[in-house]
Structure 1
């Protein structure tokens, strides 16, 4: 009778474990699939415009400068009321007082600058251009655009997402047909966030001050991208 030694049992166990570990690599239980990317673009024209205007004074009498700056800010707020810009869309900053230095021939304090910012969020190109015209007529020298928005961006983003899914399915269908396979259901979908770029405001040639026809807000593209895995039948 042949004896089975301890060494033989250890070797047999190691062989059995190796076979179990290799088994999953030899048998594929999952369905055949294909993974594709898709993108969708929606063009939109901005209809919300942000503007920042700064009231500032330079000199030695901080109290007097503060009074003049506050008066200028009050005039800006009155302008916003006249244009029916809602109070929640206007933000006036706190007062800033900054020392002004002369560095040549030696460092010396020559006064202070007192300033406040007012940020406006104007709905519509007409209101935006009237706001710029009104601020300029008040004598403000620091008026700057602060970006644009699309009011229905969420709705347009959903449309872009639908286009991205349709684009991915079309790509997958072309590949499946070329490979003589049938495209099955989507088994995994990954959607990427979108962030529309900000367009640059452009001014056309025009003699009419404050006329909306003299501005071109341009268009911005809202883009969505997806990655989808489809079964192949």
Structure 2
């Protein structure tokens, strides 16, 4: 027999290996050295878990931006404004540990005139980050920041006080989903007994939605913003041995 009529003989030698690699979900015992000749086969799945919850924490990110001709006077004005803001927050019961006041930055401003760059004063910038455990208070605090001289809000972030508990719950749901899929797929392949062999964390995500406010003309629009429920997700990669 002329083997050349069948094409390259090397393809036939690699065919069993190619069949094993092409099995994405089901690996028959002939393709697996873990279960030789015992009728077992492997099922690989990805379990997903989702937990919806309402955020109960909020972080306000604000910036004080001032411009002026004299750097010394500008620095004094910036420090006085921030001191006034911090005192007002303290009067509202916001503790010092809830406030992160960034370092004051001073940058020289330039303008292009007559083909060259010329100085045109300075800009002072200082950031404020306020964490609130009572989500209902963030419109009130935004009002306070504006009235006390803060002129830029870069965003509002919402989160959870029980973040770890929500992540754990989502992970548990993902594990149960992996078991459900394995049993379903194992049954479809004629098996009734599926046992977990390998499981690993595929990923977890806790959304931190951010309300951008730099382009808003009025902070009044923040009062109508409702983050609603957020989805905390987790996934697991698992392999089950079925028979």
Q: Shorter-chain TM-score: which interval?
A: 0.7 to 0.9
2:87 to 61, 78, 83: 78
| Deviation for aligned residue 1:41 | 0.5
Contact 2:186 2:194 (C-alpha < 8 Å) held by counterparts:
no
Question: What residue number does 2:19 align with?
Answer: none
1:145 aligns with 2:163: no
1:190 aligns with 2:200: yes
Q: Could you tell me how far apart the structure 2 residues matched to 1:157 and 1:70 are?
A: 41
Question: What residue number does 1:130 align with?
Answer: 140
Number of positions where the alignment pairs a residue of Structure 1 with one of Structure 2: 204
Matches for 1:218-229 after TM superposition, within 5 Å: 218-229=228-239
Q: Could you tell me how far apart the structure 1 residues matched to 2:153 and 2:141 are?
A: 10
Moved over 3 A (4+): 25-29, 200-203, 209-213
Q: Could you tell me how far apart the structure 1 residues matched to 2:198 and 2:154 are?
A: 46
Q: Could you tell me how far apart the structure 2 residues matched to 1:54 and 1:29 are?
A: 60
Indicate how the Cα distance of structure 1 residues 44 and 26 shifts in structure 2: closer, same or farther if over 3 A, else same.
closer
Q: Could you tell me how far apart the structure 1 residues matched to 2:31 and 2:68 are?
A: 84
Question: What residue number does 1:101 align with?
Answer: 110
Q: So what's the TM-score if we normalise by structure 1?
A: 0.77
1:63 aligns with 2:72: yes
| Higher mean C-alpha displacement, 163-172 vs 133-142 | 133-142
| Higher mean C-alpha displacement, 211-220 vs 133-142 | 211-220
Question: What residue number does 1:88 align with?
Answer: 97
| Deviation for aligned residue 1:73 | 0.5
Question: What residue number does 1:33 align with?
Answer: 42
Contact 1:192 1:225 (C-alpha < 8 Å) held by counterparts:
yes
Indicate how the Cα distance of structure 1 residues 222 and 175 shifts in structure 2: closer, same or farther if over 3 A, else same.
same
Indicate how the Cα distance of structure 1 residues 158 and 143 shifts in structure 2: closer, same or farther if over 3 A, else same.
same
| Deviation for aligned residue 1:166 | 0.9
Question: Runs of 5+ in structure 1 lacking a partner?
Answer: 1-24, 204-208
Question: What residue number does 1:48 align with?
Answer: 57
Alpha-carbon RMSD: 2.6
Contact 1:172 1:183 (C-alpha < 8 Å) held by counterparts:
no
Question: Runs of 5+ in structure 2 lacking a partner?
Answer: 1-29, 214-218
Q: So what's the TM-score if we normalise by structure 2?
A: 0.74
| Deviation for aligned residue 1:146 | 4.7
C-alpha offsets along residues 24-68 of structure 1, whole Å, 9 cap, x if unaligned? x89955243212111010112222222222223222222222111
Question: What residue number does 1:166 align with?
Answer: 176
